[in-house]
Amino acid sequence: MLAYDGSPYAEEALYVAAHLAATWEARLAATTVEETARTTSATLDAALSYLRQQGIDARGFFKGAQSGPAGVARSILHVALEQGSDLLVLGDTGFSPFVELFVRSTFDHVLREAGCSVMVCG
C-alpha cells in the first residue's frame, strides 16, 4: 500500500511503489488522508493517474479530515489493515533529526504502530 500526500518524499514513494507493483505483479492500494489544504482528493487522483499511466491497476482510498498526526496515522493503518497489505510504502517526513525530537509526526506513529513491513523513501 502507498500512503501519499503529494510531498517530494511521497513522490519518491509513488515511484518506488509503482516499480514494486509492476515488478511483482502485485495489487496496489493508495491512500491520502485529508489533513491540510495540500492533501485533498485531487492529491490522490494525481497519484492514481500516474499509476494507471504505468499500467498499474491501483485502488484509491481517500479518508476525510483527521486531527493531528495520530489521527492521520490511524487512517493510513486502517486502510492498510482493511486491504491486507504486506508492505506500506511512504515518504520520509523531511524534518531534520533535531526537529524530529520535538515533533511527533504521522510518520513516527505509522512506524510504531504498523502491523506490516514499512518501506520509507526519502
Per-residue confidence (pLDDT) for residue 11, from 0 to 100: 96
Per-residue confidence (pLDDT) for residue 38, from 0 to 100: 79
What are the DSSP E strand ranges found in the chain?
Answer: 2-3, 28-33, 58-63, 87-91, 117-121
Nearest to 90 by CA among 43, 23, 31, 39: 31
Query: Any idea which of 24-28, 85-89, 90-94, 109-113 has the lowest mean pLDDT?
Result: 90-94
Q: Domain 2-121, what fold?
A: Rossmann fold (3.40.50)
Q: Which residue has the higher pLDDT, 106 or 2?
A: 2
Residue 49 has pLDDT above 70, yes or no: yes
DSSP conformation letters of 44-58: HHHHHHHHHHTT--E
Residue 102 has pLDDT above 70, yes or no: no
Beginning with the edge strand found earlier in the chain, give each strand of the sheet holding 28-33 in spatial order: 58-63, 28-33, 2-3, 87-91, 117-121
